[in-house]
Amino acid sequence: MKSTAQNCMLISTVIATGVFAASITIPGGLDDKSGKPNYLKKPPFLVFAISDAVAFISSAAAILIFLSILVSRYAESDFYKSLPLKLIFGLVALFCSIKSMMQLPSLLLTTMTQIESQFSFLHLPFCQYFYS
């Protein structure tokens, strides 16, 4: 259980680092005058921002849950209920962060191509299938 928690915590940390970097580098850039994102009013950008936030928050929650497994006292009574529940909740949070992170490339592609083409929705099912 300890090695599982260590490995999952490492994966959660890498995911948190990646989605944090994705949130800082805003797709489309910033407006020079106002300092706001250029695609702020576009629905794919909002979905991108929400998916990025969900990935970061669930990854941070998974890090904390796996850290609580690593610092537990490993008593016999903990193995009955406490540690398995923590492991299940940590894996669910890790799965949510992976799923949200895997949607980011297709949302980024949708955000960037929606401006140039009125038929950009045609590639969305293709991107969702291969990136999710």
pLDDT of residue 106: 73
pLDDT at 65 over 90: yes
Judged by phi (left if over 0) then psi (alpha if -120 to 50, else beta), residue 85 lies in alpha
Higher pLDDT, 28 or 82: 82
Q: What per-residue string of b and e applies to 48-86 under the rule 16 or more CB within 10 Å gives b?
A: bbebbebbbbbbbbbbebbeebeebeeeeeeeeeebeeb
Instruction: Give domain limits for the chain.
Output: 2-101
Task: State pLDDT tens for residues 83-126.
Answer: 889 989 999 999 999 988 888 777 777 666 665 555 555 555 55
Average pLDDT over residues 45-63: 89
pLDDT at 78 over 60: yes
pLDDT of residue 51: 85
